[in-house]
Structure 1
Amino acid sequence: MTSQSEAFMRKMLEFLPSTEASYRESIEFNGEVLETVIIESVFMPAFIELIRQEQNIDLLERIFEYFEEVSNDKDTHLINTFSITVLEILGNENNILRTAKKYMGPKTTKMQIEADKALGREV
């Protein structure tokens, strides 16, 4: 795991503190930090619920602002992990993606479209 990936995990815990226990349980169960597992099974369910409710607009804006920073990062490992977890999952449900697009920056939007195309989804 790169230092940028570690920073991503810390930032997600900061944004979604309710995921702390599940995050720790995943590490304990797997004996290590498995980035994709944690992002997909710990962070994303909480994040998807946040999008679904669309009540904490400030938090959504801050998370998507951070995602735009991530999308512009030079760390290829972080970019790849972000694309195959966060961005692919956002495209799983049309309603979620439609809401998420209201908050996405231009680079994040472009990467999300690319992630969908890579999965063979119509965009």
Structure 2
Amino acid sequence: MVRRVVGDALRSLGVTKECVSDILLATSEACANAVRHGGPANRYEVMATIGNGRCELRVADGGEGLQVIPRQYPPGDAENGRGILIMRAVVDDISFDITPGRGTTVRMCKELDWDEDAIAHHLTLDRRLAAV
């Protein structure tokens, strides 16, 4: 559901497919971590803000709080430990607000890339509205 809402909003604004894909990948990884580490209820909250040419996402859980933030990829046979590194690779800025015993909030920001056809459409629409 989160991916659909965020993706639809970004696409409707004319964000490129590649940029939308990066944002949705980072969102999926953050949500997967929240489910995995967010406590027994597996509850988490996602907040998205789109403005000023950027998309900011916050994924907050109520778990124990991250203990270690990986800086390098785990060995090839490891089953876990890649999510944060994937997020780092596809967004421009990532930070963690960790409160031991109360949860983690992951904040991710990405500058938006615009589809040229969508920009032309919006400019035409703006001109039509200005003429009314």
> TM-score, normalised on structure 1?
0.33
**TM-score (norm: length of structure 2):** 0.31
Larger Rg: 2
The structure where helix makes up a greater share of residues is 1
